[in-house]
Amino acid sequence: MSYDTVVVGAGILGCALAHRLAATGRRVALLDRGMVGSGCSARAGAIASPLVRDDRLRAMSARSRQWYAEYRLRRPGAPLRSLPALFLCAADRQDALRERCAEPLCPAPDTALPEWVNRTGATVLLGGPRALHGQVADLCRALIAEPAVDVYECTPVDRWSGGNGGFVVELADGRGLDVPELVLAKGAWLESEDLPPGWEPPRTKKIVSYVLALPASPADPLVHLADHEAFLLPRPERGEWWLSITSPDWGILPQDGPAAGPGDLRIARAVLERYAPHALSALRGSSVHCDSYSPGGGPEVVAAPGRPLVVHGGSGSGFRYAPAAAEAALDALGAFAVRPAGTGRTT
């Protein structure tokens, strides 16, 4: 079989890119050491939040939201839904929150909150643009259901070699793929040697969401707890809520078997004690993985002549920025690839 491009890693970044590569007329092999969407993407209770921290991410966020909106129109059954978003924050921090929000925020009535969430003392409640929730593992599969994409699951890539004339990708079962374009979208599995010389090794961090056994309906809002970088997400499709917290644990790798630790539980309990004490008894298990984090705080495309293109740095927001990251990767492939179309082959 001949391919124009091999993409290693079928998480949301690899799948979004494979989808776009197929639309350019390329024949794509998408390889994953596990199943499609089985890495960090499998564990995400992911939202595309309207909060951004700088102009680059603001532009990536806006582009991605637009792309997802268009995709939903093309594929009405896509595992994406929009939901109302509310923001709780301390009164003296609301100006900073408004600045971080991509669209204007305005006061919201307390009745908009689920009855088990409190607006405590000095906290203001704001409403704003709707948020987008994606069932990321399902979205990965939907994106790559393209005739031009061949998927190889449970196919670890042991190593790659090559450069300006093309690449050889060695699979664990001894096969080799000879291909003009190679993209590495390995998430937290990315290694230093995948990056061009001189690049900092990728940093990784744990991401944790706790499950709350509370009934959720499609009309329930997402509640951002902005002072804690946390949010409450209704998951009506699972009949529960998720409390997403910011875990402080850096340096966690997939092979460590990431799990919520006592520090994560302390944070989750403190957030609930403040905003939803009645939900403490509904605290159940968690959904945890680690992600690769870029210095800039969002997906990063690393392109250098004679090297595989690297797309990484979901930075806890890989779903949110995946369409914009895929576009940046396509641009970079245009700039760097040696692409005599269709000469890649399997040996």
Ligand X SMILES: Cc1cc2nc3c(=O)[nH]c(=O)nc-3n(C[C@H](O)[C@H](O)[C@H](O)COP(=O)(O)OP(=O)(O)OC[C@H]3O[C@@H](n4cnc5c(N)ncnc54)[C@H](O)[C@@H]3O)c2cc1C
Site string for ligand X, 249-288 (x = CB under 6 A): --------------------------------------x-
Secondary structure of 128-139 as H, E, C letters: CCCEEEECHHHH
Site string for ligand X, 176-195 (x = CB under 6 A): ---------xxxxx------
User: Exposure of 343 by Cβ count < 10 A (0-12 exposed, 13-18 middle, 19+ buried)?
Assistant: middle
Taking CB under 6 A as the binding criterion, the range among 53-61, 92-100, 195-203, 310-318 that sits at the site for ligand X is 310-318
Coil, helix or strand at residue 271: helix
Coil, helix or strand at residue 302: strand
Q: Which residue number has the CB closest to ligand X?
A: 11
Q: Which residue has the tokens 């908009």?
A: 112
Residue with Cβ nearer ligand X (95 or 158): 158
Per CB under 6 A, contacts with ligand X among 87-146 are 136
3, 5, 6, 12: residue in contact with ligand X (rule CB under 6 A)? 12
Q: Are 136 and 46 in contact (CB under 8 A)?
A: yes
Backbone angles phi, psi at 124, to 5 degrees: -100, 155
Taking CB under 6 A as the binding criterion, the range among 101-109, 160-168, 268-276, 308-316 that sits at the site for ligand X is 308-316
* Residue 222 to residue 235: CA distance in whole angstroms: 10
Min dist CB 115 to ligand X, Å, is 24
Residue with Cβ nearer ligand X (185 or 330): 185
Contacts for 273 with CB less than 8 Å, ≥ 6 apart: 280
Per CB under 6 A, contacts with ligand X among 25-84 are 31-34, 38-41, 43-47
Min dist CB 188 to ligand X, Å, is 6
* Residue 135 to residue 133: CA distance in whole angstroms: 7
Strand pairing partners for 127? 86, 106
Site string for ligand X, 135-154 (x = CB under 6 A): -x------------------
* Residue 152 to residue 169: CA distance in whole angstroms: 13
Min dist CB 231 to ligand X, Å, is 7
- Site of interaction with ligand X (CB under 6 A): 8-14, 31-34, 38-41, 43-47, 136, 156-157, 185-189, 207-209, 244, 287, 289, 291, 312, 314, 316-320
